[in-house]
Amino acid sequence: MITNIGASRAQIRKRKSKRIRVVLLLFPLIILIVLHSTIAGNGYEKTDLNNTGSSTKNTSAEGKNERNSNLEEQWSFVPDVHDVSLRNEFTDRCVTITSPKEGQHTCNVNMCKEMPPPSSVKEEELQSYIQNRGFAIRATEELQNMKEPMQVNGKAKAGSGCAISHKYKFFFIHNLKVGGMTTKSFLKRALCPGGDPHNHIFKCSSGDDVLKVVDCKSGLRVASKQSYFIFSFVRNPYSRLFSGFAMAEGMANQRNEKKKIEADNLKNSTFLDEATRRKNYSVNSTRHVAGSDAISKQRKRMANRKSKYYPPFSFRDFVMASQQQRSRLSPTSKSHYLPQAMFLTDRSGCPVFDYIGKLEFYEDELRRIIYEIDRRYRASHDVNEYDSTSSNPLMVEYEKSVKVSSGRIAAFHGTSFGAKKKKRGNGNMESVYSEVAVAEKVCNEFKVDFDLFGYSDDVTIL
């Protein structure tokens, strides 16, 4: 019995030892299988994530395309809120060039695309959009090659100069009475920190390569040759002329007040006392007769000059007057009342700009212009990432300005004549154009501006 039990135990130990050897032999294989399964599982999971991302991307793209498609059906002219391109098919202008005579040419500027039928978009809503939105010029190569200076040249020393940046490759045309000083002040704050943004003759602390105020014609020649981004702003001709009138009246009143003070001072000046003394002395001294006569004549000339005042005038007087007559009403230059097209086109009617913003929507237009400047700057520097808000000084200043000023860019302090006068009139522009003859005079005088920049001649929408 004892022998059989021992044998049985020996067999059991033998079987256990055999199973252990089998397990030990299979263990590496099991480890390999587990590792393979894990790797395969991870690989599958990764592949699945990629597929999911691709699917999400495709779904997002499809959603965007579907959204854009819906927009095109309803508001085909409304861009996506993140669209930074200035190109818009329902606002952009195309230029056709005709040559009536050899060596001469004429430009005709028209909408690039026909308006959609009223069934898809209400015509009055589209018209309102076009009037409230800036536009780009889709220039042909022929037009690019024949660019000439604008008809009216702003002077840097006179405060009407244009701004150029060789670093950021843009050129701003100062169109008078359309926020030009406000725009240049903004550009100076953004690109020339530490300087006085209100001084029209300044030295940019960052260097002239960053920003410089120059004579418009000479600056435009450089900007056109270098293919810089050329932009400006326009304004409804009705409100622009009212602003011009307010400035002319305000400047005339200031000059009259100054003349009155100077005349009063002249009467009580020691110069007159001395002149009187010399005149009395000359009666008994032939040696001083000639000198006293000269002093007497000078005194009369100065008194006459100081006593000359600008006559008071109404808005109707100002509108109905000719350009020459307006120059007699006020010390302001008649350039402030010329059609805007003279600042923005050459003598053949060809536009000298790439983009025009509407002053009525200044902040929105300025933002789009900054994006375009930044887009071109990054493209020329091979920068793929687009992050204007953190690195572009123009956008940094823009964000700061609109935040501090409750969404508005602070206006230049020296351009408040029109704003104050409009405020005193409760902001009602329609009332100042209540007379048909006055409105018709503006329509006829500034017809080129109404047509070229897409403004309505209806005074009731002001």
pLDDT of residue 280: 57
What tokens does 21 get?
């050897």
Helix, strand, coil % in the chain, rounded to nearest 5:
60, 10, 35
What is the Cα–Cα distance from 11 to 27, expressed in whole angstroms?
A: 24
Q: Are strands 355-358 and 170-172 parallel, antiparallel or unpaired?
A: unpaired
Task: Say how many Å lie between the first and final Cα of the chain, rounded.
Answer: 122
Q: What would the mean pLDDT of 143-157 be, rounded to a whole number?
A: 86
Among 219, 452, 231, 444, residue whose Cα is nearest residue 350: 452
- Higher confidence at residue 389 or residue 112? 112
Q: What is the pLDDT of residues 344-360, one digit of tens each?
A: 999 999 999 999 999 99
Q: What is the pLDDT of residues 5-18, one digit of tens each?
A: 444 556 656 665 66
* pLDDT-based confidence at residue 447 (cuts at 50, 70, 90): very high
- Residue 49: which residues within 8 A CB-CB, separation 6 or more? none
Mean pLDDT over all residues of the chain? 76
Radius of gyration of the chain (CA): 38
What is the Cα–Cα distance from 201 to 431, expressed in whole angstroms?
A: 39
* pLDDT-based confidence at residue 102 (cuts at 50, 70, 90): confident
What tokens does 245 get?
């009138």
Q: What is the pLDDT of residues 395-438, one digit of tens each?
A: 999 988 888 777 788 777 665 665 666 655 555 677 889 899 99
Helix (H) / strand (E) element for 38: namely: helix 2-75
Q: Are 442 and 238 in contact (CB under 8 A)?
A: yes
- Strands of 167-283, DSSP E: 170-172, 212-214, 229-234
Q: Are 133 and 452 in contact (CB under 8 A)?
A: no
* Phi-psi sector, 179: left (phi>0), alpha (psi -120 to 50), beta: left
- Residue 263: which residues within 8 A CB-CB, separation 6 or more? 303, 306, 307
Among 147, 145, 184, 146, residue whose Cα is nearest residue 165: 184
Q: What is the pLDDT of residues 157-215, one digit of tens each?
A: 888 999 999 999 999 999 999 999 999 999 999 999 877 767 767 889 888 899 999 99
pLDDT of residue 9: 58
What is the Cα–Cα distance from 175 to 359, expressed in whole angstroms?
A: 11
Residue type, 275: A
Prediction pTM value = 0.71
**pLDDT at 77 > cutoff 50:** no
